[in-house]
Amino acid sequence: MPAYAVIGGQWGDEGKGKVIDYLAGNVDSVVRYAGGNNAGHTVVNEKGTFQLHLVPSGICWPDVYGIIGNGVVVDPDVLVNELAEIGARGIDTSKLVISERAHVIMPYHVVLDALEEEARGDAAIGTTGRGIGPAYMDKTGRMGIRIGDLLDWEALVPMVTQVLEHKNALITKVYGGKALALDDVLAKCRIWADHMAPYAMATEQLVQDLLSQNKRVLLEGAQGTLLDIDHGSYPYVTSSSPSIGGACTGLGLNPQAIKGVLGVFKAYSTRVGSGPMPSEITDDEAEEIREKAQEFGVTTGRARRIGWFDGVAAKYSQLINGFTGIVLTRLDILDEFDSVKVCVGYEVSGERLDRFPANTGLLARCKPVFEEMPGWDKPTASATELSQLPENALAYVHKIEELVGCRAQIISTGPSRAETIQVEPVFT
Ligand code: IMO
Ligand code: MG
């Protein structure tokens, strides 16, 4: 059976965790392929509410493998705590595995994330502070420590000794920070080796074996396309590839294995951290959406910036990922509005722009061209059938389909697994 991907179509926080939990009942494995514990995926089902950062969001289904692929960066402390927390709530975590090729977020990565942000001053990215960027920098800089390295003590000690020397020079001489003690870092690694050993394996082989045994594999995106290191609003991006290309490199999966690519879009826009967001609003309506939807980060608690649905950005996201279907989430949040807006184009110095620009300075100058649509008189919250949606809400869904250029296969009408409209089958 093929693989299917679930990818953030916007700036992250689109509700991917809910979508994965909903779909995972019909798959054999859920696989994270990029990012790390900068992600915050919320899952609400009959077992409770779970806020996951590293553990794949299919974990509540006992027979489903949870796979952390090579493209993910892993903070072992975070993973161990997360597993203990969900395990204590009666969730079986025995089917979790981690790629031995996944890179480790080392203690100095977290220190450097904070120091680099501080040094950026007004140009700070607003990272999650979890060491993500520095860990990916070391990966591409060929000085990363991988999960497999933790398990080879003889080789690990000289590696960590050499890298730490370099990192301490950076921390103390460039940023004026405090050096980390080699003994402390190695002691951490010893503990992590014991904790990670039972989970480490060649996940690319496992994924391939599952596919050839006719099992279904669900790829769980983290972050969103507009935060992609290549395709996002650089430099205000994360340091990995959340879009579809990242799913291939982040797992060692060939592209022919992927049959469906679901783009998850919120019915409006949010963004955490800095960087341009053309359809952003800061008026009472923004406040209303933020409060009603509780748009505060799962990972950092920061208030999310709010905007109307950005059709230009969404179309660009479709171009990058080739979505075969849309999952539209949080439609219910717009329930009580007299009217809603969608951004159908940008304007720069009086000129119309219908394309998401590569130049971040230009993107920052883009003013939104909004189209106003009437609100709906009946709530969509908790609807489970398309026929329960009021006419204007349906018109809004169709508008988004038209802007993205792709059909809505699933509409989410609330946070829990049950509050879902399955418009058409995803797995074909
Ligand atoms: P999920 O998976 C929303 C943002 C950060 C920051 C930028 C870089 O929950 O959708 P980083 O720590 O990755 O170096 O920060 O990326 N960011 C996210 N925003 N949702 C996420 O994940 C995010 N992960 C990172 O706020 O602007
Ligand atoms: Mg999140």
Q: Does any domain span residue 180?
A: yes
Identify whether 254 is part of a domain.
Answer: yes
Residues 163 and 310 in one domain: no
Provide the residue range defining the domain that includes 132: 103-145+152-196
Q: How confident is the model at residue 298 (pLDDT cuts 50, 70, 90)?
A: confident
- What is the atom index within ligand 1 of the atom nearest the CA of 113? 14
Does the C-beta of 340 come closer than 6 Å to ligand 1?
no
Catalytic residue from among 41, 103, 109, 231: 41
Residue 427: inside a domain: no
| Whether 285 and 160 share a structural domain | no
- Domain check: are 7 and 36 in the same one? yes
d(CA 328, CA 332): 11
Q: What percent of the chain has pLDDT over 90?
A: 98
Q: For residue 18, how far is its CA from the centre of ligand 1 (angstroms)?
A: 17
Could you tell me if the CB of 260 is within 6 A of ligand 1?
no
244 and 378 part of one domain: no
Please list the residues that pair with 346 across neighbouring strands.
353, 368
Report whether pLDDT(1) > 80.
no
Contact 406, 325 (CB under 8 A): yes
Question: Do 30 and 48 fall into the same domain?
Answer: yes
Q: What is the mean pLDDT of residues 279-284?
A: 97
Residue 144 in contact with ligand 1 by CB distance below 6 A: no
Q: Do residues 393 and 271 share a domain?
A: yes
Residue 173 CB contacts under 8 Å (≥ 6 apart), including other chains: none
* Together in a domain, 292 and 378: yes
Contact 204, 252 (CB under 8 A): yes
Cβ atoms of residues 34 and 248 within 8 Å: no
Would you place residue 252 in the very low, low, confident or very high pLDDT band (cuts 50, 70, 90)? very high
CATH number at residue 353: 3.90.170.10
Closest approach atom of ligand 1 to CA 300: 26
Residues 286 and 168 in one domain: no
* Residue 132 CB–ligand 1 contact under 6 Å: yes
- The average pLDDT across 195-217 equals 97
Do 170 and 245 have their domain in common? no
53 is catalytic: no
pLDDT band at 6 (very low <50, low <70, confident <90, very high): very high
CA distances for 285 relative to 93, 159, 271, 280, 282, angstroms: 41, 53, 16, 11, 8
Span 290-319, average pLDDT? 96
Please indicate, yes or no, whether residues 254 and 286 belong to a single structural domain of this protein. Answer: no
Residue 428 lies in a domain: no
243: left (phi over 0), alpha (psi -120 to 50) or beta: beta
> Residue 163's pLDDT band (boundaries 50, 70, 90)?
very high
Residue that is last in its domain, among 243, 261, 279: 261
Helices (H), 253-295: 284-293
Task: Please state the domain count of the chain.
Answer: 3
**Per the domain annotation, does 232 fall within a domain?**
yes
Closest Cα to atom 13 of ligand 1: 238
Ligand 1, from 43, 227, 266, 270: best to mutate by most atoms within 8 Å of Cβ? 227
Q: Return the SS3 of 324.
A: coil
Distance from the alpha carbon of residue 184 to the mean position of ligand 2, in angstroms: 31
| pLDDT band at residue 250 using 50, 70 and 90 as cut-offs | very high
Evaluate whether residue 359 is within a structural domain: yes
Across the chain, what does the average pLDDT equal?
97
Task: Give the per-residue pLDDT at 299.
Answer: 85
Enter the pTM of the model.
0.97
In order of 269, 310, 369, 406, 428, the CA distances from 326 in angstroms are: 15, 14, 23, 7, 15
Tell me, using a 6 A CB cutoff, whether residue 8 lines ligand 1. yes
Same domain, 392 and 286: yes
* DSSP E strand boundaries for 33-154: 41-45, 48-52, 65-68, 73-74, 96-99, 103-104
| Longest distance between any two alpha carbons in the chain, whole Å | 67
User: Is position 41 annotated as part of the catalytic site?
Assistant: yes
Cβ of 223 closer than 6 Å to ligand 1, yes or no, is yes
Q: Which CATH number does the domain housing residue 47 bear? A: 3.40.440.10
pLDDT digits (tens, 9 = 90+) for 109-156: 999 999 999 999 999 999 999 999 999 999 999 999 999 999 999 999
Please choose from 14, 33, 38 the residue to mutate so as to test ligand 1's pocket, defined by most ligand atoms within 8 A of CB: 38
Confidence of residue 363 (pLDDT cuts 50, 70, 90): very high
Do 160 and 220 fall into the same domain? no
DSSP-assigned states of every residue in 176-244: --PPPPHHHHHHHHHHHHHHHTTTEE-HHHHHHHHHHTT--EEEE--S-GGG-TTTSSTTSS-SS--SH
Check pLDDT > 90 for residue 256: yes
What is d(CA 106, CA 119) in angstroms, rounded to the nearest whole number? Answer: 20
Domain boundary among 261, 287, 314: 261
Q: Could you report the per-residue pLDDT of 7-23, keeping only the tens digit for each?
A: 999 999 999 999 999 99
Domain CATH for 111? 1.10.300.10
Look at residue 377 in the predicted model and tell me its pLDDT: 86
Average pLDDT in the 50-63 region?
A: 97
In angstroms, rounded to a whole number, what is the distance separating the alpha carbons of residues 63 and 373? 44
128 lines ligand 1 (CB under 6 A): yes
Domain boundary among 229, 261, 293: 261
Q: Is residue 15 part of a domain?
A: yes
| CA 348 vs CA 4, 313, 366, 425: distances in Å | 38, 15, 5, 40
Peptide linkage before 235 cis (omega within 30 of 0): yes
Quick one: average pLDDT of 263-285?
Answer: 97
CA nearest to 404, candidates 340, 331, 345, 319: 319
Domain membership of residue 348 (yes or no) is: yes
